[in-house]
Amino acid sequence: MNPRTLETVRETRMGGQIRGNTFAAHYRIVTEGPAEAEAAKAQRRAPASGPAAAGATAAAAAATAGAGSSADAAAGGQQQQQQQQQRRRLVTFSNEFGFGGARAVFYEFDEAGRLMHETEHVLPGVDIAIIHDLLVTEHYYVLMVGPIKMQAAKFATQYLFGRCSIAECLVYEPAQRTRIMLFPRPGRPSGKVLPPRVLDADPCFVFHNVNGYEAEGGEVLVLDAVAWDSVDFEMGLYDKRSSKTDGFEGGGRTQLVRMTADLRSGRVAKRQLLRRTVEFPAIDARVTSRPHGVAWFIADAVDHAVLWAPAQSVVRVETDPALGLGPRAAASLASTQQQGQQQQGLEPPRKAAGGSTGAAAGTSAGVAVDEWFLGDRTFPGEPMFVPRPGSTREGDGWLLLGVHNAAGEGAEGKVHIFDAEALSRGPLATLHLPHRLPVSLHGAWTPEYMAPDPDAPRWQELGSARPM
């Protein structure tokens, strides 16, 4: 794709590096420690050639140049940042379903777009599933497979005749368990040879994970995710004819959960960290696969035990990385964190500023919330965290947030820029777009300006929307 014009150029297999036909919706950017980087270098495949690899190299170089351009960043911090960027890995997967069962292929790419590892696994007991995102820890790729079943009769009588979508043939089965699937990552410095594992957890469905990390040398996993308590792909929940105006009741409420998995006992404990209804998690990618202390979400403004609503707020959530762990795991985590801080040069996050911190009803001990309410008729998309160039503290940077303005005809969209450490102070700056911005889901950010002409940005407003 041409990133400036959004024109589709052609299909690429990145110089023959990818075999599958699909990629998962999400990826993780993992910053390796120096030891991991050395181990990976020794095992790396021969460099790929071709335009895809060259393009990725140019993009990586541009990103490095752009991110390092702040004049006031400390030279030491910048050097450290450059080293971190050279150790970054893009980790993702593809999954394929067929009569022979389901499989997942995991990929790890370096900054130049070179494939470093590819591993293929069968997804045991899975015929069809929606696996939207993954987690990466030191030793594992983690997939959460919710209790979803295909309705064969509906598939045969409706889908095949174009009367419903494939998603509408899927049904959530709350009496079943969620399966946490762990697949070993190749090339780890510990040299451990680990089998794949499948653990059972209380039922929930996960589109988006927050982060995962290990304690006690990989015997205990901490997995944070946004869990749906049910899923209805027919979306009957959002019936516009409903006269209810004080919030939704029931349906697919989405909440922040922490799962702690003990690989010795095979048990997974799931706890809810917040009463708020949240989605679209963002973290400081510099701590991906390591203990994190802060994450950002969009959230409803209702904060009620039963009722909930679409997101109209943005929240910063501090969590104690040891929350949910026993004393031994917590002690091991402290030393892991110290090691991680030395490797990544990152201090723990700053404690939240603002009036609404810590005391919100329904918040677990060890969790604090800082919030900004965006306003009536205002609905945000995914928040994006941008680290401050040269920063040495987790979560030191900005949060970008595109918002849909539903105030009426001609209501323009906005992009807010927050101090990511102090949301409740309100946006530092707001970009007023010359056009409407639909309710959006995901976003992406680059330090480069990508529109065709920076002096005269052009926008053509569509005269009408196609009726569905």
Nearer to Fe ion, 25 or 417 (CB): 25
DSSP H stretches of helix in 113-209: 152-157
Nearer to Fe ion, 25 or 331 (CB): 25
Find out whether 132 is annotated in a ligand binding site.
yes
Least gap, CB of 24 to Fe ion (angstroms): 9
Q: Which of 308, 285, 279 is nearest to 439 (CA)?
A: 279
Least gap, CB of 133 to Fe ion (angstroms): 6
User: How would you label 237-269 residue by residue, b for 16+ Cβ within 10 Å and e otherwise?
Assistant: eeeeeeeeeeebeebbbbbbbbbbbbbeeeebe
Least gap, CB of 397 to Fe ion (angstroms): 22
Least gap, CB of 280 to Fe ion (angstroms): 8
Q: Which residues bind Fe ion (CB under 5 A)?
A: 25
Least gap, CB of 382 to Fe ion (angstroms): 8
Least gap, CB of 225 to Fe ion (angstroms): 12
Find out whether 435 is annotated in a ligand binding site.
no
Nearer to Fe ion, 444 or 456 (CB): 444
Residue with the two structure tokens 């899927």:
170
Nearer to Fe ion, 25 or 171 (CB): 25
Asked if residues 390 and 73 have their Cβ atoms less than 8 Å apart, the reply is: yes
User: Nearest residue to Fe ion, using CB?
Assistant: 25
**Rounded (10°) CA dihedral 383, 388, 390, 395:** -50
Residue 415 CA: distances (Å) to CA of 30, 206, 299, 418, 463: 27, 27, 17, 10, 23
Nearer to Fe ion, 25 or 439 (CB): 25
Nearer to Fe ion, 25 or 150 (CB): 25
Strand (E) or helix (H) holding 313: strand 311-319
Helices 51-67/75-86 angle, 10° precision: 160
Find out whether 442 is annotated in a ligand binding site.
yes
Q: Which of 395, 222, 428 is nearest to 316 (CA)?
A: 395
Asked if residues 403 and 378 have their Cβ atoms less than 8 Å apart, the reply is: yes
- Overall residue count recorded for the chain in this entry: 468
Binding-site annotation, residues for Fe cation: 132, 208, 442
Binding-site annotation, residues: 132, 208, 442
